[in-house]
């Protein structure tokens, strides 16, 4: 009975982290269409950069507690959820707008269903380059992160969580930023090479800083999860 309770608690905690990962990843892809200027810095980042690093923190915690196999499951599940979101959003784009959509007191100056439709399309339209760039960068970087994290854990016999957390995340984030910048901004959007280099460096700097900052969060997350599992085992 004690073993069954422990397994149920373990599965419940794992499921919660998997759901958080998928929701975070879907939001990352939705917010990625906006490029904003970082306050007080002359830096350009996409909205997705605000949430995407969190996905690596979650997979690091999952890999630390449950191992590489479950982390890969979470990554693939997140990928499938993003494809589902993309399919539903693109289908919605092609549905004809209804006059009821128009709010006479809206603060955006939109007066016709067609204007609403154009505004909706401008935000949610996803080009082929964005899909390819996001998918290739995501799958490659996440799988590299998990493999390197597990390799370093085995190499250090479970010690030095800070090392595998930072090393795996920084390397995988570098790969992610390079792939996404090359495919989307350079080949897709057609930004000049110098602008793409700036975008790559901006994203990498932000993600590297987050990787260093999230080390205490990784320790905290691992400690909380292990504490939850120990409560049942005690």
Q: Is residue 89 scored above 60 in pLDDT?
A: yes
**DSSP H/E element including 16:** helix 2-31
- The yes-or-no verdict on residue 205 having pLDDT over 70 is yes
pLDDT digits 0-9 by tens, 107-163: 788 888 999 899 888 888 766 677 788 888 899 999 999 999 999 999 999 999 999
Pairing of strands 35-37, 44-46: antiparallel
pTM of the model: 0.86
Roughly what angle, to the nearest 10 degrees, separates helices 128-155 and 52-66? 40
Q: pLDDT tens digit string along 6-56?
A: 557 788 889 999 999 999 999 888 887 788 888 877 777 778 888 888 999
Q: Looking at the domain covering 2-97+109-233, what would its CATH class be?
A: mainly alpha
b/e burial code for range 142-164 (CB count within 10 A of at least 16 → b) = bbbbbbbbbebbeeeeeeebeeb
Separation of alpha carbons 60 and 179, rounded Å = 21
Q: How far is CA 206 from CA 11, 31, 43, 160, 161, in A?
A: 33, 16, 10, 24, 21
Q: Domains of the chain: which residue ranges? A: 2-97+109-233
CA distances to 34, 45, 219, 229 from 14, in Å: 31, 31, 17, 11
Structure confidence at residue 44 (pLDDT): 78
DSSP secondary structure code for residue 105 in this structure: T
């Amino acid at each position: 009975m004690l073993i069954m309770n422990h397994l149920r608690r373990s599965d419940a905690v794992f499921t919660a982290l998997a759901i958080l990962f998928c929701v975070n990843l879907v939001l990352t892809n939705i917010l990625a269409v906006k490029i904003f200027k970082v306050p007080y810095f002359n830096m350009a980042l996409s909205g997705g950069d605000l949430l995407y690093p969190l996905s690596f923190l979650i997979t690091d915690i999952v890999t630390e507690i449950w191992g590489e196999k479950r982390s890969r499951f979470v990554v693939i599940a997140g990928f499938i959820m993003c494809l589902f979101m993309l399919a539903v959003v693109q289908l919605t784009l092609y549905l004809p707008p209804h006059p009821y959509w128009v709010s006479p007191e809206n603060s955006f100056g939109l007066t016709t269903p067609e204007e609403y439709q154009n505004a909706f399309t401008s935000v949610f339209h996803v080009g082929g380059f964005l899909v390819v760039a996001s998918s290739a960068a995501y799958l490659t970087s996440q799988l590299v992160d998990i493999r390197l994290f597990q390799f370093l854990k085995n190499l250090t016999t479970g010690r030095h969580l800070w090392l595998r957390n930072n090393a795996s995340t920084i390397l995988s984030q570098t790969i992610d930023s390079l792939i996404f910048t090359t495919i989307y901004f350079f080949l897709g959007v057609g930004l000049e090479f110098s602008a793409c280099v700036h975008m790559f460096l901006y994203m990498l700097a932000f993600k590297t800083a987050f990787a260093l900052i999230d080390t205490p969060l990784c320790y905290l997350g691992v400690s909380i999860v292990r504490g939850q599992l120990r409560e049942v085992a005690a």
